[in-house]
Chain A
Amino acid sequence: MSEDGSTPSERDLDRMDVRELGRLGAHLDDVEVVDDSPRHEPGGPGERRAIRRVAAWFVLSVLGAIGFVVVYVLWPWQYTSTGPQETLRSWFTPMLGITFAISVLALAMGLLEWSKTVAPPDVAIQQRHDGPSPPVAQRTFAARTVEILEQTGLRRSKLLRRTVLAAGTAFAGILAVTALGSLIRNPWRSEGPAPLVTTEWHSPDGERTYLRMDTGDPHSVTLVRPEDMVPGGLLTVFPFRESMRGDPEKLSKILRSADSSVILLRFAPGTPVVEQIGQEDFNLGGLYAYSKICTHMGCPVSLFEQTTLRILCPCHQTEFQANEYARAVFGPGARPLPQLPLAVDERGYLYAPHDFIEPVGPGFWSREPRG
């Protein structure tokens, strides 16, 4: 074997044993092996002890696997809500995890022990080859690139360069249109009013929209009377029109509507109240109705603090002052909760004469009504 990188002859190779060939290979790969001395005398008592330790881990791993399969197959796992079975069942997943971990971690420990006590330390140093390619590679590559530009005519013809660039861009363009075109929808074009600025409180044909409470049964309808509300009380209400009565799906779905839930509040007599300019007649005595959808990010504002009269959003903790047109007084939200106008019909049920006069929920670019 010679130092200048030429390979040893077939005859030299014939004379080399496994270790020498290994070193030769390492040398050819620019690796110098510093320490690959065996941890123990091969086959000696030290090595036998080490192997027994490794084997013990592997045996434990097999036992863990058996435990895992036994738990998986035999342990009761079907859901029961009561009885002594319940406690046992609730241990099914933890037992799976524990046996799984015993098996896998024991295998890991065995492997680690093996690498540390039986395999050699194998400390090696490899040379890096940083920096640029040899000059001949650089020159020939650069020359060939230039030659290609020459041969294809790209270097000579501005027309060719420009048109191929244009066609390539056009190709990317049609790919983009194909990919994105199908996804684009106009938010402002829909049958009926634009969904961003109207809610279910909007009555398309002038039919009265009543306030309905959620009783837990999605198909029953319970309307709200002013006297249902005690002072200081709060109720979540949903829109209802008589035409929905025959439509169980609609009745159920509207209770989970993302923009139409409203909180109805009654302030105790004597509570100081500040009205929003232009909405002084939206309340009905001490009854006020605000959109439940937070004007920051759209979470339902579902906490009401009686002492401070603040409505709190649980997501980012914007606080709205309920008795001051629900203006935002703390946290990241900036706009007040939109107010729903209230009226009472001849039978004494609350209804909303019209929809909110501004979009509910998080703000967007064109939310101001355009004149």
Chain B
Amino acid sequence: MTSRGYRPRRYSLTAGAARGAERRFQLAGLARHQINKVFPWHFSFLWGELALYSFVVLLGSGILLTLFYVPSMDEVIYQGSYAPTYGLEASRAWVSVMQISVDVHGGLFLRQLHHWAALIFLAAIMLHMARIFFTGAYRAPREINWFIGVAMLVVAIFEGYLGYSMLDDLLSGTGVRIFSGILLSIPVIGTWLHWMVFESAYPGEIYIERFFIAHVLLLPGILLALIAVHLAVVWYQKHTHFKGPRARESNVVGNRTLPVFAMHSITMLLITTGVLGLLAGVAQINPIFHWGPYNPTQVSNGSQPDWYALWLIGSLKLFPPTDISVGGEYTIPGGFFSGVMIPLVLILLLFAWPLIDRLRDPDRELHNVLDRPRDAPQRTAIGAMALALFGVLTLAGTDDVSATVLSIPLEPLRWVERGAVFVLPPLVYLVTRRLCERLQRSDREALSGGIATGILERPVDGAYRSVQQPFVGVDADGGEHDPEYDGARVPKTPTPQRLRGES
């Protein structure tokens, strides 16, 4: 350490700029506090970043796509350079997407980048949400960010749906038709809502223009605002962390914003962008030049929405045929229950989870240390149960394809799925609960009895004995005591010294 003190250099460009900013905004204290802020690290904390950076890619690629996309349902003749569809009548929207895919330099890359980013965005949101759920990070004081997060999930699903509905190819038109059917099914106001969106019976002449504005302005604006609040709350409340040697409720252990956290975060941005770019290049997605333009009298077999909408289709498919007559004069179609009520109830349950959790768990403390999923068996089992339901609905959404691919008859498969909706989630609940309890026991046993080293000893009495490496707790003042479980991960592999037979 030098004895010479440090002062900012008097004359340099950066020093000048810094001094200028300081004089006007009193930045030094504020900025220092932010660059010294500590962020914990765990691989599961990256899902949120993955979602954020997919969104960045979506914004960038989306802005470029708007320069070429034409939101119009006017009928024109396709005269682009793609020969198989030359001369077909189609909407200008479809023709413009064809132009992007075939006649714009690098346009297909951009389109596929945008679509892949959307798929990964939704997947990342759900993984992030699962992490928050299973570790109990939604508990006080962070309920607000759970609510914002579920709101963003819903907006993102609509955003993705609107995005692929705008292309007006055979697949997307089918999706809009189903949306129209769901709208119509709403009792009393369904037809009025339909006319609010479509201005007429399906399909009308305006929905693509409206979907476009919602997709490029309204919903991204809402998402941006919610993301800003979401991040601000994380920043202000400080990130949660797992229990560790130094990590406790009153502190946060990790890396400071600069340089290490920022380096890791930018790395994550680059990996997201790079992998999405690779997918956009080599993995074809939504080849609308194969589907052809939309025609309401046609549909291709095996029509599938993007993966995040499959659970909604699953709900539509599995619901039994019902048309409820009200007073012999009015009808509530089954689509209202399967297409509106079930999704609405599931989303509301998800949204209200931190409140529902309070009925189950009397704990009202503030929590900064995350639970390991095994230490909250009931919560983990409830989450696994929800995932099982989501999984069954998603598989049901795609069952026509799986029935074809696996050459199994669809009808019995559908009945199995209907049964699975009721049987599988409770079963998963019980199994997960048992599994958590067993894992807890294994941790306790390791702490009290030590870890199996795999070495067998044969003492003089002749019996074989498995060698266990014991745990020893160390007090703050260096004394030893019996180890106790405190919520941190218990290592289950022996350390090398013991393996070599030292002790």
A residues adjacent to B (C-beta < 8 A): 13-21, 25-26, 28-29, 31, 34, 72, 77-79, 81, 93-98, 100-101, 103-105, 107-108, 111-112, 114-115, 119-128, 130-131, 180, 183-188, 195-196, 218, 236, 238, 252-253, 255-259, 261, 292, 296-300, 302-303, 314-318, 328, 330-335, 361-368, 370
Contacts and interface: CB of A to CB of B under 8 A. Distances in A.
A184 B196 contact: yes
Interface stretch (B63-71, B257-265, B470-478): B257-265
B254 A124 contact: yes
A258 B296 contact: yes
B5 A297 contact: no
Contacts of A188: 191
30 contacts: A16-B5, A17-B3, A17-B4, A26-B36, A77-B105, A79-B102, A81-B83, A81-B84, A96-B106, A98-B281, A112-B267, A115-B263, A115-B264, A120-B260, A121-B255, A124-B255, A128-B238, A128-B251, A130-B366, A195-B200, A258-B177, A261-B296, A298-B202, A314-B303, A316-B313, A362-B335, A365-B186, A367-B331, A368-B325, A368-B329
Contact of B108 (A28, A93, A365): A93
A185 B196 contact: yes
B174 interface: yes
Given A18-B6, A363-B331, 18 more contacts: A16-B5, A29-B33, A100-B109, A100-B281, A119-B260, A124-B254, A125-B252, A187-B201, A258-B297, A302-B301, A317-B399, A332-B316, A332-B321, A334-B323, A362-B184, A364-B190, A364-B331, A365-B331
B250 interface: yes
Contacts of B246: 34, 125
Interface of B: 1-7, 32-33, 36-38, 75, 81-84, 89, 102-103, 105-106, 108-109, 112, 141, 174, 177-178, 180-182, 184-192, 194-196, 199-203, 238, 246, 249-256, 259-260, 263-264, 266-267, 270-271, 273-275, 277-282, 295-303, 313, 316-323, 325, 328-335, 338-339, 366, 368, 399-400, 410-411, 414
Contact of A363 (B37, B329, B333): B333
A31 B177 CA distance: 57
B191 A187 contact: yes
Given A108-B271, A119-B260, A195 B106 contact: no
Contacts of B112: 93
Contacts of A108: 267, 270-271, 274
A104 to B, nearest CB: 3
A99 to B, nearest CB: 8
A101 B251 contact: no
Contact of B256 (A17, A31, A331): A31
Contact of B297 (A25, A292, A315): A292
| 9 tightest A-B CB contacts, nearest first | A97-B281, A363-B333, A104-B274, A108-B270, A362-B181, A101-B278, A297-B181, A334-B321, A126-B38
Contacts of B330: 365-366, 368
B201 A332 contact: no
A180 B400 CA distance: 39
A112 B263 CA distance: 7
Contacts of A115: 259-260, 263-264, 267
Contact of A317 (B180, B187, B191, B400): B400
A122 B256 CA distance: 7
A104 B60 CA distance: 16
A333 B141 contact: no
A258 B202 contact: yes
A255 B89 CA distance: 11
Contact of B332 (A299, A303, A365): A365
A297 B335 contact: yes
Contact of B6 (A16, A114, A238): A16
Contact of A365 (B190, B295, B313): B190
B251 A127 contact: yes
Contacts of A79: 81-83, 102-103
Contact of A119 (B75, B174, B259): B259
B178 A298 contact: yes
Given A124-B255, A297-B182, A297-B316, A17 B332 contact: no
Given A297-B335, A298-B178, A257 B297 contact: yes
B277 A332 contact: no
Contacts of B6: 16-18, 21
B162 to A, nearest CB: 16
A187 B194 contact: yes
A14 B329 CA distance: 88
A364 B181 CA distance: 8
Contacts of B332: 365
A303 B404 CA distance: 14
Given A258-B296, A331-B414, A105 B270 contact: yes
B279 A97 contact: yes
Nearest to B339: A297
Nearest to A297: B181
Contacts of B203: 258
Contact of A13 (B5, B182, B260): B5
B181 A296 contact: yes
Contacts of B264: 112, 115
A371 to B, nearest CB: 9
A187 B188 CA distance: 12
Contacts of A34: 246
Contacts of B178: 297-299, 315
